[in-house]
Structure 1
């Protein structure tokens, strides 16, 4: 059985973690990590925290290690890898408004050309379909084929 872990916090760190836990603009995983640190500081052991937060004991230990080695920055997720999307929410909103306002029906080829010509966004028709399906839903009530 691993040795019990005990986190020691300064009053300033305790206040920082309390503010972080209650900030709704911070991702839930980061708030959970802050809560795990404060619970350990208040005397909870790894298994109790694991049961309460619904993370595995190994994950709780990793949270503690990240706190010890990186401090408050260790509670945040690292940036994700991958290419940034070529389209933005404004592009999807533009498509939605075009489909709602204009009386005509568009197919995916026509939407590709419309985006390319009017917004300088180059996407494939398959990508347009996936975006619309994900963002707009099943397309009922919209003029798309």
Structure 2
């Protein structure tokens, strides 16, 4: 098999490749420029593919692109990518549906599917709405109506007192330990009193 190398680089081509290798914006460009520089130094395609951990045919393709188009041949061309799931009309319809169902993403999803016939994941809906400065959060139910207000206020007062003592230098663990032992002693006294018949 014949060993293939790129044509010897001129001084300006070498500087261009070195600049692309050291300062290239994308990793792919830096890797391709490195391959050209390695070939100019006398490395074979097999050695270059081993050094860069790529297939042999990829290195060969880079050489051809370099010879035909120069540095432009090594730069990735823009790709179209996937077409968006929602077009401009769908985005407008979503805005209208949000006005009707502002806190119900599932209802919004079902209604959107009914009207447009498009099945769209909730993640896609959230992403589309986020672009228009909407955000959905799960509704949390408050337990405020179920709490004992008197007990709640007493606990808040106790917490404030504990924080105040902690600010004065007593640690929270020490306070809790003291409270536990005080409560435990009271229970023990009560148990002894009951057993002695007092």
TM bucket by the smaller chain?
0.5 to 0.7
Answering whether residue 27 of structure 2 is matched by residue 33 of structure 1, we say no
In 1, the alpha carbon distance for the partners of 2:50 and 2:17 equals 20
The structure showing larger relative contact order (alpha-carbon pairs under 8 Å, at least 6 residues apart) is 1
Q: CA deviation at 1:78?
A: 2.1
> Which secondary structure state, in structure 2, belongs to the residue aligned with residue 51 of structure 1?
helix
Answering whether residue 11 of structure 2 is matched by residue 11 of structure 1, we say yes
In 1, the alpha carbon distance for the partners of 2:123 and 2:79 equals 25
In 2, the alpha carbon distance for the partners of 1:77 and 1:65 equals 14
Cα shift readout 1:101-132 (whole Å, capped 9, x = no counterpart): xxx84415559x9xxxxxxxxxx672552475
Name structure 2 gaps, 5 residues minimum. 88-101, 112-117, 131-135, 140-198
What corresponds to 1:129 in structure 2? 123
Cα shift readout 1:15-63 (whole Å, capped 9, x = no counterpart): 1111111225x21111111110001001111111000101111110110
Name structure 1 gaps, 5 residues minimum. 88-103, 114-123, 137-141
**TM-score in terms of structure 2 length:** 0.46
In 2, the alpha carbon distance for the partners of 1:11 and 1:38 equals 12
Answering whether residue 52 of structure 2 is matched by residue 58 of structure 1, we say no
How many corresponding residue pairs? Answer: 111
Q: Which is richer in helix?
A: 2
